[in-house]
Amino acid sequence: MASLAEAEQLDARDPLAARRHLFVGADDASIVSYLDGNSLGRPLLSSAARLASFASDAWGQRLIRGWDEEWFDLPLAVGDRIGTATLGAAPGQVAVGDSTTVLLYKLIRAAVDARPGRTEIVVDTDNFPTDRYLVEGIAAERGLSLRWIESDTRGGVSPADLEAVVSSDTALVLLSQVAYRSGFLADVPALTALAHDAGALVLWDVCHSVASVPIELDAWGVDIAVGCTYKYLNGGPGSPAFVYVRRDLQSDLSQPIQGWMGHAAPFEMGPGYSPASGMRRFLSGTPSIVGMQALRDMVELIDEVGMAAIRAKSETLTRFAIDAVDDWPASWGVEVATPREAERRGSHVTIEHPAFKQITAELWRRGVIPDFRAPQGMRLGLSPLSTSHVELWNGLEAVREQLVRL
């Protein structure tokens, strides 16, 4: 049975435990248990210092000179660090840009336009809402059809699911590596290969996976990926997203939001648009320099400890959560909605109960912070570098106490 003693033993053996003190609020007594790192990661103490220093020094003292000294190339420099530390991507293939929504729009449009004559976009019914809403709008704009995969809300898209719908009509397949609701971890290499066998491009949403599970975009032959930086990359609320485009594909894609920062000669301010070479062509307007500051420290920390160690900690946290819930009486009616096999789940566990909406609201008032997803899912977002097993146990005990009172 899962227990506080086991949680303490796991923390004592955890090689990442010593890193927890690096995060703001890790020892804040008002936060009993933070279990929503898959929605918003804790800031690093060094990131808080960096932001203060940036305002007073880089911005306050260097002023407009900062663009010539660092800022103009920062979206590509930070993109390269994200790529090498978390995405298995060689330099020159990742850029930090707009929000996830805007980057997805740009790359979905670019991908379908790069497959003229093909009439369909494949997407699953339980993909993140933004992804689904975007392809609905783009399909209407471009006169395309959608092929929906009916995905399991307690699982995700399998190779057999994709094989049943992909065809010579498919322009693009849009999937998430980790399902936002269930935590299901997709087989990226197999699904990518199936899309390629049909001549389609594939775009992976890695928002719920980047920096929590190992990713090898280059080795897997992925075409395009988009991810956010405020979850496991701890960039802060509204921090900008990033885009990966495989090197040999970059010149084939024309992104639709043609802004001056993506121009081949942005400071000439000349007539007509000529896209820059490489990843700069996927930029549009002035990038969020302030928004990139906090995530820089987290990327360096991830690179220092390595994704293998982060994944190992994620697996022990998620297993402990599932074991603890399995110990609760069946009469309570709580069900685990996340795959039990470690190789098939990301770094969050979803449990379901009809009362979880009201229970989550009460937990928040008490300093226990999980996440609720309709209709009855409570997500336990377990950020390996900042979450301890004891913190997880304390949160689960608070959930149990609320269930006993029903």
From the candidates 105, 184, 230, 320, which is the catalytic residue?
Answer: 230
* CA–CA separation, 335 and 51 (whole Å): 42
Please say if 231 is a catalytic residue. yes
Is residue 356 annotated as part of the catalytic site, yes or no?
no
Q: Integer distance in angstroms from the first to the last C-alpha of the chain?
A: 23
**Residue of 20, 50, 113, 128 with catalytic role:** 128
- Tell me whether residue 50 is one of the annotated catalytic residues: no
DSSP state of 33: E
Please give the Cα distance from 93 to 384 (Å, whole number). 26
Query: 19, 154, 246, 379: which one is catalytic?
Result: 379
The one catalytic residue among 154, 231, 246, 373: 231
How far is Cα 400 from Cα 228, in angstroms, rounded to an integer? 32
H or E element, residue 368: strand 368-369
Q: Assess whether 113 carries a catalytic annotation.
A: no
Residue with tokens 């690096």: 22
Residue 170 token pair: 């498919």
Q: Is 205 a catalytic residue?
A: yes
Side by side, the strands of the sheet bearing 377-381 are 335-336, 348-352, 377-381, 371-373
Annotated catalytic residue, options 205, 223, 297, 371: 205
Strands 120-124 and 170-176: parallel
- Cα separations in angstroms, 301 against 121, 234, 334, 352, 374: 37, 11, 36, 34, 34
3-state secondary structure of 377: strand
What CA–CA distance (Å, rounded) separates 56 from 58?
A: 7
3-class DSSP assignment, residue 114: coil
If we measure between CA atoms, which residue out of 244, 180, 152 comes closest to residue 38? 180
Q: What is the DSSP letter of 13?
A: H
30 SS3 class = coil
Give the residue numbers annotated as catalytic, written as ranges: 128, 205, 230-231, 379
